[in-house]
Amino acid sequence: MLQVSNRIDKLSPSETLAMSQKSAELKAQGVDVINLSVGEPDFYTPAHIKEAAMKAITENYSFYSPVNGYSDLRQAIVEKLKRDNSLDYAVEQIVVSNGAKQSVCNALLAIINPGDEVIVPAPYWVSYVEMVKLAEGKNIIIQAGIEQDFKITPQQLKAAITARTKAIILCSPSNPTGSVYSRKELQGLAEVLAGHPEILILSDEIYEHINYTGTHESIAQFDALASRTIVINGVSKAYAMTGWRIGFIAAPQWIAKACNKLQGQYTSGPSSISQKAAVAAFAGDQSCVAEMRQAFLRRRNLVASLCKDIPGLKVNMPQGAFYLFPQCSAYIGTTAPDGRAIADSSDLAMYLLETAHVATVGGAAFGAPDCLRLSYATSDESLVEAIKRIRQALLALK
Ligand code: PMP
Ligand code: GLU
């Protein structure tokens, strides 16, 4: 019989993209859906970045770029890492890919052998666990609930490490919770990891600039870990460039080399035009970043306060990213007016989409089945209307 490989068979589809797709389908049928599912800024890419791309087209940047990215882009990334994160890298340690998503996947494929354990703190971004599966690694999940602000403790980390641990994936500011690890909290984790020189650290910092605490801290800043941390970042979130598909790793040279080799066989370098736009993003005027962060902060305050008013929702106060991750256990095990059972948060997300016409994502895909993810990267007006609809729909559950 003709069928797909076991590898693909075992892979779950991305739930964030699936909910967004469902919401787009309903919209196409004329339903007035408010989409709080997919996480992407609603802003347009800043003008100076678009101009750099147009210039690149005019100047015929239409050929293959080096597999790991143009050297001026990698140089701009080196300077960005120094300016924003006080991190020292050489251009050879940077590999530019088709979005941070590919950067994470490249890094995992470059370091994981079958059966290697990868520690993934939950709630986690949907794709980590699937990528670990693709690399034939084993996910070791550490649960961090709302009572600990969705952040793992050094004790939990210590308990999860075994002789097979190969890597840990950290994400701060976090998708889906918006939690941000402080320097002190990272130091606690770094101290545990310092005693395990065989463990690699993947630090996903894609939400670096959407941080309301005033400073972004990278675990790569700790000396004991610098030589075995892979920093992942990109332009999607900070510069409203999700469709341009540019992400990067800054890594020990042997890992950068491995990713370069991997990428050379299966994607080549990312879009030449997008790379030139990314140079303008990293090296150009940064005021757009602060402006967007201000808007996200205003919306964070708005959705958090509206959701806190909904009986039964437990709401965390996210310090970064653009997600709210309320715990909704009070509504699990209820019945909707149309008779449908709400057995878990995926049922709840589907009920909200079909009856309230608000697209969210159930927490199960993020390893937190009693929570719901709302992306607040949309207009204040849509947010107010969406939360009003969610409130009404939740209060109708019995
Ligand atoms: N990491 C996290 C935590 C994300 O939320 C995203 C957004 N999808 C990515 C990585 C990948 O971003 P991109 O591929 O658009 O650079
Ligand atoms: N990071 C976004 C999200 O979590 C984009 C979707 C995806 O890449 O999965 O919604």
**Which pLDDT value is given to residue 17?**
86
pTM listed for this prediction:
0.97
Question: Do 86 and 110 meet the contact criterion of CB atoms below 8 Å apart?
Answer: no
Beta carbons within 8 Å of 354's beta carbon, 6+ residues apart: none
Architecture label for domain 47-283: 3-Layer(aba) Sandwich (3.40)
Which pLDDT belongs to residue 64?
98
Cα 17 to middle of ligand 2, angstroms? 7
- List all residues 6 or more positions away from 40 whose beta carbon is below 8 Å from its beta carbon: 236, 237, 242, 375, 377
Q: What is the topology classification, in CATH, of domain 6-44+288-395?
A: Aspartate Aminotransferase, domain 1 (3.90.1150)
Q: Which atom of ligand 1 is nearest to the CA of 204?
A: 1
For the chain, give the mean pLDDT.
97
Which of the ligands is closest to the CA of residue 246?
1
116 Cα to the center of ligand 2, angstroms: 26
For 44-70, what is the mean pLDDT? 98
- Which residues on neighbouring strands pair with residue 94, listed in sequence order? 250
Tell me the ligand closest to 20's alpha carbon: 2
Q: Which of 309, 314, 311, 342 is nearest to 328 (CA)?
A: 314
Q: What is d(CA 251, CA 228) in angstroms, rounded to the nearest whole number?
A: 8
Specify the pLDDT at position 383.
Answer: 97
Whether residue 363 contacts residue 373, with contact meaning beta carbons closer than 8 Å, is answered with yes
Tens-place pLDDT, residues 204-223: 999 999 999 999 999 999 99
Q: Given a cut of 90, is residue 15 above it in pLDDT? A: no
DSSP 3-state of 204: strand
Lowest model confidence (mean pLDDT) among 24-38, 144-158, 292-306: 24-38
Mutual angle of helices 47-58 and 272-283, in 10-degree steps: 140
Q: List, for residues 59-102, the tens digit of each pLDDT value.
A: 999 999 999 999 999 999 999 999 999 999 999 999 999 999 99
Helix (H) or strand (E) holding 154: helix 154-160
Judged by phi (left if over 0) then psi (alpha if -120 to 50, else beta), residue 178 lies in left
Distance 356 CA to ligand 2 centre (A): 22
- Choose among 317, 293, 292: nearest CA to 305: 317
Identity of the amino acid at 72? D
What pLDDT, on the 0 to 100 scale, is given for residue 361?
96
Q: Is the model's pLDDT at 20 over the cut of 90? A: no
How far apart (Å, rounded) are the C-alpha atoms in residues 365 and 345? 10
DSSP state of 167: E
Q: In what order do the strands lie in the sheet with 372-375?
A: 323-324, 372-375, 361-362
With 0-12 CB in 10 A as exposed, 13-18 as middle and 19+ as buried, what is 1? exposed
CB-CB contact of 282 with 275 (8 Å) = no
Strand 165-171 to 138-143 pairing: unpaired
Instruction: Count the neighbouring beta carbons within 10 Å of the beta carbon of residue 105.
Output: 22
Distances (CA, A) of 150 to 293, 316, 367: 22, 9, 11
205 CA to centre of ligand 1 in angstroms:
9
CB 52 within 8 A of CB 59: no
Which of 181, 206, 244 is the pocket-test mutation for ligand 1 (most atoms within 8 Å of CB)? 206
For the chain, domain boundaries: 6-44+288-395, 47-283
Q: Which of 15, 16, 101 to mutate to test the pocket of ligand 1 (most atoms within 8 A of CB)?
A: 101
Residue 275's φ and ψ, nearest 5 degrees, are -65, -40
Name the DSSP class of 3. -
pLDDT of 150 strictly over 90: yes
Work out the percent of the chain whose per-residue pLDDT is above 90. Answer: 96
Confidence category of residue 303, pLDDT binned at 50, 70, 90: very high
Q: For the residues of 86-120, what is the DSSP string, one character each?
A: -----GGGEEEESHHHHHHHHHHHHHPPTT-EEEE
Q: Is 90 exceeded by the pLDDT of residue 126?
A: yes
The whole-number average pLDDT for the span 340-366 is 95
Q: Which are the contacts of 159, defined by CB distance < 8 A and separation ≥ 6?
A: none
Q: What is the mean pLDDT of residues 50-54?
A: 98
Query: pLDDT grade, residue 282 (50/70/90)?
Result: very high
What is the 192 CA–ligand 2 centroid distance (Å)? 30
Q: Residue 186: is its pLDDT beyond 90? A: yes
Which pLDDT value is given to residue 385? 98
Residues 6+ apart with CB under 8 A from 58: none
Q: What is the pLDDT of residue 14?
A: 86
Please name the residue whose Cα sits nearest to atom 1 of ligand 2: 39
The two domains 6-44+288-395 and 47-283 share their CATH topology (first three levels equal): no
